[in-house]
Amino acid sequence: MEASKKLTVRDLIHIGVYSTLYLVVFFMCSLLSIVPVLYPFIPVAAGILCGIPFMMFMTKVNKPGMIFIMLIIMGMVAFLLGYTWIPIVTAIVFGFLAELILKVGGYKKFSTVSLAYATASVWAVGIIMPMWVLASTYVEFVRENMGDQYTDSLLHYMPWWMGFVFVGLYFVFGLVGAFVGRKMLKKHFERAGIV
Amino acid sequence: MKPFFQLDPRTKIILMIVLNFLVVKGGHIGFEILIALIPFVLLYDNKQKKLAFTYLILYVFAIVAKQATSMELHPGISAVVIILVGLIFKIFPGLMMGAYLIRSTKVSVFISAMEKWHLPRSLVIPISVLFRFFPTVSEENRAIKNAMKMRGISLGSQKFFKNPILFFEYRLIPLMASSARIGDELSSSALVRGLENPCKRTNFEEASFQKIDFVFIIFSAIAFVFMFFKG
**pLDDT (tens digit per residue) in B77-87:** 666 777 777 77
B76 contact partners, CB below 8 Å, separation of at least 6: none
A80 contact partners, CB below 8 Å, separation of at least 6: B13, B16, B17, B20, B94, B98
B115 contact partners, CB below 8 Å, separation of at least 6: B124, B201
**Helix residue ranges, H only, chain B:** 9-25, 29-45, 49-69, 75-90, 92-104, 107-116, 121-150, 158-162, 164-192, 211-229
Contact (Cβ atoms closer than 8 angstroms) between residue A155 and residue A36: no
A87 contact partners, CB below 8 Å, separation of at least 6: A74, A75, A78, A79, A123, A124, A126, A127, A129
* pLDDT, position A16: 92
Any A CB within 8 A of B86 CB: yes
* pLDDT, position B32: 80
pLDDT of A71 strictly over 90: yes
pLDDT of B231 strictly over 80: no
Q: How confident is the model at residue A185 (pLDDT cuts 50, 70, 90)?
A: confident
Any A CB within 8 A of B186 CB: yes
In this structure, of A128-142, A149-163, B165-179, B217-231, the range with the lowest mean pLDDT score is: A128-142
Which candidate from B20, B86, B175 shows the least CB-CB separation from A147? B86
Which candidate from A7, A73, A188 shows the least CB-CB separation from B127? A73
A14-30 mean pLDDT: 89
Q: How confident is the model at residue A1 (pLDDT cuts 50, 70, 90)?
A: very low
**pLDDT (tens digit per residue) in B130-153:** 888 888 898 999 999 899 888 888
Q: Do B20 and A82 touch (CB under 8 A)?
A: yes
Residue B203: how many other CB atoms lie within 10 Å = 12
- Give the C-alpha separation, A117 to A170, whole Å: 10
* pLDDT, position B205: 76
Report the percent of chain A where pLDDT is more than 90.
30
* pLDDT, position B83: 72
Q: Which chain A positions have a beta carbon within 8 Å of B191's beta carbon?
A: 9-10
- Taking all residues of chain B, what is their mean pLDDT, rounded to a whole number? 83
B67-91 mean pLDDT: 70
* pLDDT, position A145: 67
pLDDT of B187 strictly over 70: yes
Helices A110-121, A51-60: crossing angle, 10 deg rounding: 130
Residue ranges of B 90-109 with Cβ closer than 8 A to chain A? 90-91, 94-95, 98
Report the percent of chain B where pLDDT is more than 90.
6
Q: Of the candidates B160, B18, B25, which has an alpha carbon nearest to the alpha carbon of residue B97?
A: B18
* pLDDT, position B210: 84
In this structure, of A142-146, B183-187, B199-203, the range with the lowest mean pLDDT score is: A142-146
Q: Which chain A positions have a beta carbon within 8 Å of B90's beta carbon?
A: 82, 145
pLDDT of B72 strictly over 80: no
In this structure, of A81-95, A129-143, A178-192, B46-60, the range with the lowest mean pLDDT score is: A129-143
B193-197 mean pLDDT: 78
Closest chain A C-alpha to B22 CA, distance in angstroms: 10
B181-195 mean pLDDT: 85
pLDDT of B164 strictly over 90: no
ipTM of model over 0.85: no
Contact (Cβ atoms closer than 8 angstroms) between residue B159 and residue A106: no
Contact (Cβ atoms closer than 8 angstroms) between residue A14 and residue A141: no
pLDDT of B126 strictly over 50: yes
Contact (Cβ atoms closer than 8 angstroms) between residue A17 and residue A140: no
A176-186 mean pLDDT: 90
A42-47 mean pLDDT: 87
Contact (Cβ atoms closer than 8 angstroms) between residue B137 and residue B179: yes
